[in-house]
């Protein structure tokens, strides 16, 4: 990030339970309930450790599901020793409980102990499950796919003559997704009794209580109506879990679902859902604990584990220490979500027809101030993106100006056809996709939205825009609300970033036209968004300082629209052109621009290079991910030099 003012955040001593202590517990061959309770207690310590060390992760849902996972892996899953391809199958459909699952697998010796230090790190344990990790049976992170996947597995197993039980863990908020209900009927019609779904019924979704977001009503009645056998029990009571699973053994003709009543954040008093004040948003869905929260939580968890070890005659519990890596944060950053939060209220004040729709991401999308100021114009849809978009379509048909929100990865893909359908009506809806692009790198590829420009770019009557700094958020959103006659998609990077340039005073918003971030003669580079342009800016500075090569850096905030006359002028007589993307190269802005350059017929011909994401995004820290994908400053310096060298061979050495 170049020279920045950095604040030291913190660095703590952390504690975890080594695999040898799990082994000692398992080898003691205690009564299954005792073993499972103690195992889960150890796994909670390691889960908190992993999340604290990674500086991010989902504590609440990991803790609510840990007793269930522990019971399953210690008592239900057959043939674990025969390897992941030949044993009973377990996977989590909600997926953000991955740290809990990793802790269980490490405790069983199915993943190596040193992995506790690698959550959300490059080539470590991804933020959401990925099948490259041993014993991970499905990529999840986007919700509602679990039962469908289990059905496919069951059919394949039956065709191969190797039937196996398949356990799928879901969230309760997840049941708002239509695919969950879509998937139920054929499981019942085909009598797929080997499928056992466990609903981690902790009653709190991303933001707050499920019943406040989008009440599920009588879940048992719904599931029974779909032809499933339904059981219910306390998901933290291992005896109840055992009774429930034994009763299921007798159901031979129906798929089964267990509604396991749980407590979000179970195990740490102040993280437990019911401790949340009335009207509060739940604080431990995602993110990292503070120093104090970690210390308090870890103490509670270790005390409980020690108590269980003592009570079982296992003696003292040995733990190991690790350190939380120091994290330094730049003092002055651009926070686009915060700017959007203000811009939304500003526009809502001026436009009484503006209605906001959300899909259970009120905090992350910056909607709290609007929702508080205009509760009657705020529509919380729950985790139901297709429903949200078609509702927006209906709202627009009747004269409202709907603004629909989710993470970019979900908003561009899950309701992809619904967005096209809405745009086909010629009405105006504004879509706002946050968490766009490669960063943050921690959640993994299900959340790293590097495909949204391609997925939506062809939709007619849909203008796609991405701001790079806070002032540009205001300018673009105002344009989309006031001036644009068509629908639009505002793509927002959520990571805060120290941006070394500002929005030009008096800049006019014109679709298809961008602005010069810094000027130069030898090379023209295009990009968009805060970190991509910032890294390019620093690379340009470095190139000028070290090699005397000067770069014109251009921000084109329009992702699927370019004005050819402007582009021709922006390139001028420069003949080395490098097009950057915070997106897959295929389908990104650079492809549109390269195609436009080809259409300009520049003479002499320009040398055009494109740089962006080329493969499925890796999970890791932001620095790791940028370096891996060649989009950090150092990699850009090399790319810039190559681009100039391609145009003027001999200027710089060519890479192999």
- Which residues in the 532-561 window bind its own copies by CB under 8 A? 560
Site residue total, its own copies (CB under 8 A): 119
Among 73, 167, 282, 410, which residue sits at the site for its own copies (rule: CB under 8 A)? 410
CB of 313 to its own copies, least distance (A): 42
In the bound state with its own copies, the residue whose beta carbon lies nearer, of 420 and 566, is 420
In the bound state with its own copies, the residue whose beta carbon lies nearer, of 416 and 544, is 416
CA distance 294 to 416: 40
Among 274, 277, 399, 506, which residue sits at the site for its own copies (rule: CB under 8 A)? 399
CA distance 405 to 358: 5
CA distance 456 to 547: 40
Element (H, E) at 325: none
CA distance 462 to 48: 43
Beta bridge mates, 293:
none
In the bound state with its own copies, the residue whose beta carbon lies nearer, of 3 and 615, is 615
Among 594, 631, 636, 652, which residue sits at the site for its own copies (rule: CB under 8 A)? 594
Which residues lie closer than 8 Å to 648 by C-beta, 6 or more apart? 576
CB of 235 to its own copies, least distance (A): 22
**Rounded to whole angstroms, what are the CA distances from 592 to 461, 493, 640?**
17, 21, 20
Question: Beta strand 13-16 with 320-323: parallel, antiparallel or unpaired?
Answer: antiparallel
Of 6-65, binders to its own copies (CB under 8 A) are none
Of 287-326, binders to its own copies (CB under 8 A) are none
Three-state secondary structure along 558-583? ECCCCCHHHHHHHHCCCCEEEEEEEE
In the bound state with its own copies, the residue whose beta carbon lies nearer, of 474 and 575, is 575
CB of 545 to its own copies, least distance (A): 28
- The candidate with the shortest Cα–Cα distance to 343, out of 485, 450, 503, is 503
CB of 139 to its own copies, least distance (A): 5
Q: Where are the beta strands (DSSP E) in 377-461?
A: 378-380, 401-407, 430-434
CB of 11 to its own copies, least distance (A): 34
Of 425-454, binders to its own copies (CB under 8 A) are 425-426, 445-446, 451, 453-454
Of 175-194, binders to its own copies (CB under 8 A) are 176-183, 185-186, 188-189
> Are residues 586 and 595 in contact, defined by beta-carbon separation less than 8 angstroms?
no
Among 75, 333, 416, 544, which residue sits at the site for its own copies (rule: CB under 8 A)? 416
Phi first, then psi, for residue 335 (nearest 5°) are -120, 95
The stretch near its own copies (CB under 8 A) out of 237-245, 253-261, 389-397, 483-491 is 389-397
587 is a contact residue toward its own copies (CB under 8 A): yes
487 is a contact residue toward its own copies (CB under 8 A): no
In the bound state with its own copies, the residue whose beta carbon lies nearer, of 318 and 598, is 598
CB of 154 to its own copies, least distance (A): 8
Mask: binding to its own copies, 213-232, rule CB under 8 A, as x and -? Answer: -xxxxx--xx-xxxx-----
In the bound state with its own copies, the residue whose beta carbon lies nearer, of 65 and 183, is 183
Phi first, then psi, for residue 168 (nearest 5°) are -120, 125
CB of 216 to its own copies, least distance (A): 7
Phi first, then psi, for residue 330 (nearest 5°) are -60, 145
Eight-class DSSP state of 209: B
What b/e sequence results for 333-358 when a residue is b if at least 16 CB atoms lie within 10 Å of its CB, and e otherwise?
A: bbbbbebbbbbbbebbeeeeebbbbb
395 is a contact residue toward its own copies (CB under 8 A): yes
> Are residues 187 and 255 in contact, defined by beta-carbon separation less than 8 angstroms?
yes
Of 152-171, binders to its own copies (CB under 8 A) are 152-157, 159-160
386 is a contact residue toward its own copies (CB under 8 A): yes
CB of 469 to its own copies, least distance (A): 26
Task: Say how far residue 221 (Cα) sits from the centre of its chain.
Answer: 32
Task: Give the position of tokens 């766009």.
Answer: 436
Among 320, 520, 586, 638, which residue sits at the site for its own copies (rule: CB under 8 A)? 586
Mask: binding to its own copies, 595-634, rule CB under 8 A, as x and -? Answer: xxxxx-xxxxxxxxxx----xx------------------
> Are residues 624 and 634 in contact, defined by beta-carbon separation less than 8 angstroms?
no
Burial (0-12, 13-18, 19+ Cβ within 10 Å), 460: exposed
CB of 438 to its own copies, least distance (A): 14
Of 636-655, binders to its own copies (CB under 8 A) are 646
**Rounded to whole angstroms, what are the CA distances from 315 to 38, 308, 318, 538, 569?**
13, 9, 9, 57, 77
Of 344-373, binders to its own copies (CB under 8 A) are 355
In the bound state with its own copies, the residue whose beta carbon lies nearer, of 334 and 386, is 386
Among 68, 197, 260, 381, which residue sits at the site for its own copies (rule: CB under 8 A)? 381
> Are residues 536 and 580 in contact, defined by beta-carbon separation less than 8 angstroms?
yes
In the bound state with its own copies, the residue whose beta carbon lies nearer, of 104 and 579, is 579
CA distance 619 to 614: 14
CB of 606 to its own copies, least distance (A): 7
Q: Can you read off the two tokens belonging to residue 31?
A: 């009564």
């Amino acid at each position: 990030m170049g020279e920045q003012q950095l604040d030291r955040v913190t660095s703590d001593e952390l504690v975890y339970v080594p695999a040898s202590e799990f082994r000692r517990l398992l080898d003691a061959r205690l009564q299954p309930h005792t073993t499972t309770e103690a195992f889960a207690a150890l796994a909670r310590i390691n889960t908190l450790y992993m999340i604290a060390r990674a500086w991010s992760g989902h504590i609440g849902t990991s803790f609510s599901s840990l007793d269930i996972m522990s019971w399953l892996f210690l008592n239900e899953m057959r043939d674990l020793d025969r390897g992941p391809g030949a044993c009973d199958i377990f996977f989590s459909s909600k997926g953000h409980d991955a740290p809990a699952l990793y802790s269980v697998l490490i405790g069983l010796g199915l993943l190596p102990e040193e992995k506790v230090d690698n959550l959300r790190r490059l080539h470590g344990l991804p933020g959401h499950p990925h099948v490259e990790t041993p014993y991970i049976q499905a990529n999840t992170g986007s919700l509602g796919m679990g039962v469908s996947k289990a059905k496919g597995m069951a059919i394949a197993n039956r065709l191969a003559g190797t039937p196996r039980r398949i356990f799928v863990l879901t969230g309760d908020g997840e049941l708002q997704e239509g695919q969950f209900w879509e998937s139920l009927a054929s499981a019942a019609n085909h009598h797929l009794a080997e499928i056992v779904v466990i609903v981690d019924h902790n009653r709190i979704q991303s933001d707050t209580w499920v019943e406040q977001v989008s009440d599920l009503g009588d879940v048992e009645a719904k599931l029974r109506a779909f032809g499933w056998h339904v059981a219910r029990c306390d998901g933290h009571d291992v005896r109840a879990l055992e009774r429930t699973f034994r009763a299921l053994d007798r159901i031979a003709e129906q798929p089964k679902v267990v509604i396991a009543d749980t407590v979000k954040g179970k195990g740490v008093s102040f993280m437990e859902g019911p401790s949340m004040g009335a009207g509060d948003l739940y604080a431990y869905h995602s993110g990292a604990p503070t120093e104090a929260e970690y210390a308090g939580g870890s103490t509670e968890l270790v005390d409980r584990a020690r108590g269980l070890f003592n009570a079982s005659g296992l003696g003292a519990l040995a733990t190991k220490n690790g350190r939380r890596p120091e994290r330094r944060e730049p003092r002055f950053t651009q926070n686009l979500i915060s700017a959007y939060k203000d811009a939304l209220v500003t526009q809502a004040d001026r436009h009484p027809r503006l209605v906001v729709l959300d899909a259970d991401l009120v905090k992350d999308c910056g909607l709290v101030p609007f929702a508080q100021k205009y509760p009657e114009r705020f529509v919380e849809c729950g985790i139901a993106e297709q429903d949200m978009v078609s509702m927006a379509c209906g709202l627009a048909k009747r004269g409202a100006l709907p603004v629909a929100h989710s993470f970019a990865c979900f908003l561009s893909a899950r309701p992809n056809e619904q967005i096209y359908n809405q745009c086909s009506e010629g009405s105006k809806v504004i879509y706002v996709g946050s968490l766009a692009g490669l960063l943050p790198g921690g959640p993994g590829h299900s959340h790293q939205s590097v495909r949204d420009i391609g997925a939506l770019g062809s939709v007619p009557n849909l203008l796609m825009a991405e701001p790079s700094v806070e002032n540009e958020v205001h300018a673009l959103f105002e344009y989309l609300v006031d001036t644009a006659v068509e629908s639009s998609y505002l793509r927002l990077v959520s990571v805060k970033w120290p941006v070394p340039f500002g929005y030009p005073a008096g800049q006019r918003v014109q679709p298809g036209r961008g602005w010069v971030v810094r000027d130069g003669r030898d090379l023209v580079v295009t990009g968009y968004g805060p970190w991509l342009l910032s890294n390019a800016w620093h690379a340009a500075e470095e190139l000028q300082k070290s090699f005397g090569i000067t770069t014109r850096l251009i921000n084109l905030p329009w992702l699927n629209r370019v004005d050819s006359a402007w582009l021709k002028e922006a390139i001028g007589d420069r003949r080395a052109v490098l097009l950057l993307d915070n997106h897959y190269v295929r389908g990104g802005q650079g492809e549109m621009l390269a195609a436009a350059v080809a259409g300009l017929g520049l003479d002499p011909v320009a040398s055009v290079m494109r740089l962006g994401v080329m493969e499925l995004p890796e999970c890791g820290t932001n620095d790791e991910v940028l370096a891996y994908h060649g989009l950090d400053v150092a990699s850009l310096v090399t790319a810039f030099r190559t681009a100039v060298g391609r145009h003027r061979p001999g200027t710089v050495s060519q890479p192999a």
